[in-house]
Amino acid sequence: MNKQAVTVWTIAVVVLTLIVVGLIALVTASNNQSATGVLSLPVQAGEWTTGGANASSTISLVEYSDFQCPACAFYAPWVKQLLSDIPELVLTYRYFPLTQIHQNADLSAQAVEAAGRQGRFWEMNEAVFAHQQDWAESSQAEPLFMEYAQGLGIDPVKFKQNLDSQSVKDKISQDLKSGLDSGVTGTPSFYLDGKFINNPKTYDDFVGIIKDALAASAPARS
């Protein structure tokens, strides 16, 4: 590899690193206003919850998220890995569409909720985040969501019916309200056992926060 190519690759790596660091710093700063926040609505039966099935004790992580939010897409693989690495962790996903800045925030939430009505919530959640760059600024996002849904074996007719249904929209509105009542100002916002945590800067930081909370509460959970 010649010197010019090495220089180009070096610059590319530096730029990418700065983008990642800046993204984390931005979302952390935007959420600091909620640093003393407490979850206004405890996790209810029927919410989108996963993890903790084989653990003798559990700890709850509630995430308020917007599918069009780049920071949410960045954190998504971390959250998925946490569920694998920490068997005690129980994740609850709540919608918090930032419609004032994201044109497809509501529609993407409706698409994932509609998929959930056919038992494919977590699969659609992952697919929508994975393809965020394809649909985020598109005026034709709905056909893309239909495509992702069909790829997951979802009935397209029922999906379309649910996508436009009032019950799906009401679910998203309820999550949004509970987030506002909890002091959420940006996404993603995480609540660990009901208390707001500042967004971790690294995956190891995230693991440490959860394990520290587990250790601190061990006597109460035993």
pTM of the predicted model, to two decimals? 0.84
Residue in the block written with tokens 């509970």: 178
Assign residue 167 the CATH number of its domain: 3.40.30.10
The neighbouring-strand residues paired with 195 are: 38, 192
Q: 143: which 2 tokens?
A: 């056909």
Lowest mean pLDDT among 26-30, 91-95, 183-187, 208-212: 26-30
Of residues 153 and 24, the one with the higher pLDDT is 153
Dump pLDDT digits (tens) for 54-81.
888 899 999 999 999 999 999 999 999 9
Buried-exposed string 156-188: b where 16+ CB fall within 10 A, e elsewhere:
eeebeebbeeeebeebbeebbebbeebbbebbb
Dump pLDDT digits (tens) for 105-151.
999 999 999 999 999 999 999 999 999 999 999 999 999 999 999 99
pLDDT (average), residues 159-188: 97
Q: Are 91 and 50 in contact (CB under 8 A)?
A: yes
Rounded to 10 deg, the angle between the 166-181 and 156-163 helix axes is: 50
| Residue 19 pLDDT greater than 80, yes or no | no
Q: How many domains does the chain have?
A: 1
Dump pLDDT digits (tens) for 202-215.
999 999 999 999 99
Of residues 32 and 116, the one with the higher pLDDT is 116
Q: State the residue range of the domain holding 136.
A: 3-221
pLDDT (average), residues 3-23: 46
Q: Report cis status (omega within 30 of 0) of the bond before 188.
A: yes
Q: Are 116 and 76 in contact (CB under 8 A)?
A: no
The sheet with strand 48-51 has its strands ordered as: 48-51, 89-95, 59-65, 189-192, 195-197
Q: Are 42 and 194 in contact (CB under 8 A)?
A: yes
